[in-house]
Structures are given as structure tokens and as C-alpha cells.
Structure 1
């Protein structure tokens, strides 16, 4: 296992995923991690945002909420390389902008993954600066009448999407 400390090929920030990329199958299809990959993922939330389904698509977009107490649950992944990040940028496309935002972790993270201060492990409740792909396309593209449901995505769309989307085949 390799060290997760910052190196020229390791991205300095973890990435918060709140949609289809919460699925390991989707994430690994996009980033194609090699056998040397040293990744860790933990449940996390971001505050002040809401996620809605993209019209006629199985994935969501996340936008700022007028209610700053709202949260979106997701997965925070540590250890991606710069090439992984490039692949993620390509996958997300022009309607999503990668921003650095605070994300609260819900499981401990070993010190080796704390690339901002690798001397201490991250604890439950710690807030870390993270890459987040925020939806910046026209809000009319999102179905704001209902929240996006990850479990429904996994149950109803994941297998079909993985087998038919040009992103994965």
C-alpha cells in the first residue's frame, strides 16, 4: 500500500460525491484506479445545498439552497490522483463546476489521508475543504419538485446505465 501523503501526482483535496459517483462501480469506471491506488471513502455531508434529479436522466445536480441549514449526504473520497481528477472533470461536463467547499465527515480518516495536515487523523464532525461538482447549468434542467434518491438510482438505474451509457462502454 502506498502513502497517501501529497505528491506531485496526488491531488491535495478529497472529493465529495453526492450522486451517481457515490457508487463504487460508477466511480471506478470513471477514474480507472490502478492496483497501486490508495483510496479511502467516508460518509459525509455538505450544508447549504440541495440535490435534484436532472430531467430525464438518472443522475442529480446539486445547487445552493435558500435554506442554509439543508444538507446533502454523500461520500468523501481521499487519495485520487491528478489523472483521476482530470477524468472526473471530463465525466462531469460543462454543466458542473468543480469548487472547493467545506464538507463534514461522518467517519474517522487516518492521518495519512489528511494531506492538509498529515500529522493528525480526521475525526467524526471535522470539516475539510473538498472538491465538489456543483451544478451550474440552467436550473430548469433539474426537476426541483422532488429530491434525488440514491437508493432509487441504485435499484432502478445503475445496472442499465452502466451497460448502456457511452461513459462506461
Structure 2
């Protein structure tokens, strides 16, 4: 880990699971060493934001409920700053336990220099939790990543001021 790296990986459960969105937000340089693995977090639910293509994740009364997403290793402090700005005031960054679902190869496969990471292991990760107002979320349904990619991604990437447009 370099001095410019953040101490925890980041867990993403919404639009930032899409590589184009994540890269547009963090703008990693050519020297970036980012690795992504599927992961999940228990005790939370993911709900769509009313009138927007992204979700919010909130605590669930069912502690066995899980949200699947991506665990991303290798972000710098500047990347995290950009993520904080992107998430805005309705989301709070917390450090929570996230379960790894796939093997973690290479330089990222050791937690705190002690043991290799394996599927099923828990790691501490930065997670952006939705903090309200809760009426902004549609509590009647689960957010659908496939629908986001199919129905919203291309238009969002071209029109959102959060992203750098190369065209």
C-alpha cells in the first residue's frame, strides 16, 4: 500500500458498480492499481431513489438480508475525496464489515499482512449509507442494476455534470 492509498477498500452497491461511472467519478491516473471483487453486506437493503436511476442503501430490520455489490481496492485519498463529493449530503461514509464473495489475487489478497483473503472472509470497507430523507427512497421495490445499465447509463454518462465528457 502506498502512502497515497486509503486504508480500506470501498464497497459500492449502486451506479458506481458500473466501471464507466466509477472511472468518471474517481478519474484514476495511468499508474492506478485498482482491483474489484464481488462482495456483499448483511443487514441492509437497497432501494431506488424516487425519480433518479440510482439507489440508497439503508439498514434492514432483517439482519440476514444482504446487498451484493463490488469491493474495490486501490483508491487513493484523492479518489476518496471525489467519491465523497459525488455521493453528496444524503450519504454518509462509514466503515463496515463486508463479505468477500470471490478470490482476491495479487497484492490485495492479504488483510493487514496476516492472512490471504478468501471467499466468505469479512473485511472492513468504506460504505456510503443513505441517511435520508428516507421518503426519497421507493420502499416498495429493490433497485435493479441491470435496468440501470440498460435504461439509464448511456444517457446519464452524456448528461450528468458529475462526469467528464470526452465528446
TM-score range, shorter chain: over 0.9
Q: Which runs of 4+ in 1 moved over 3 A?
A: none
Q: Please give the per-residue CA displacement for 1:106-137, whole angstroms capped at 9, x wherever unaligned.
A: 11113622574235321011000000000002
| 2:94 is aligned with 1:99 | yes
Q: What is the TM-score when the length of structure 1 is the normalising length? A: 0.93
1:40 pairs with one of 18, 35, 42: 35
Once the two structures are superposed, the pairs formed by residues 55-94 of structure 1 within 5 Å of their partners are 55-94=50-89
Contact in 1 for aligned 2:110/2:117 (Cα 8 Å): no
Number of residue pairs the alignment of both structures matches? 164
Could you tell me how far apart the structure 2 residues matched to 1:148 and 1:87 are?
Answer: 24
Say what the alpha-carbon RMSD is for the aligned residues: 1.2
Paired with 1:25 and 1:108, the residues of 2 have a C-alpha distance of 23
1:152 aligns with 2:147: yes
Task: Note the 1:125-136 alignment, pairs <5 A.
Answer: 125-136=120-131
The answer to whether the 8 A contact 1:12-1:115 is kept is no
Post-superposition CA distance 1:48-72 (Å, at most 9, x none): 0000000000000000001101000
Contact 1:108 1:121 survives alignment (8 Å): no
| 1:24 counterpart (19, 25, 28) | 19
Distance 1:115 1:100, change over 3 A: farther
**Unmatched runs of 5 consecutive residues or more in structure 2:** none
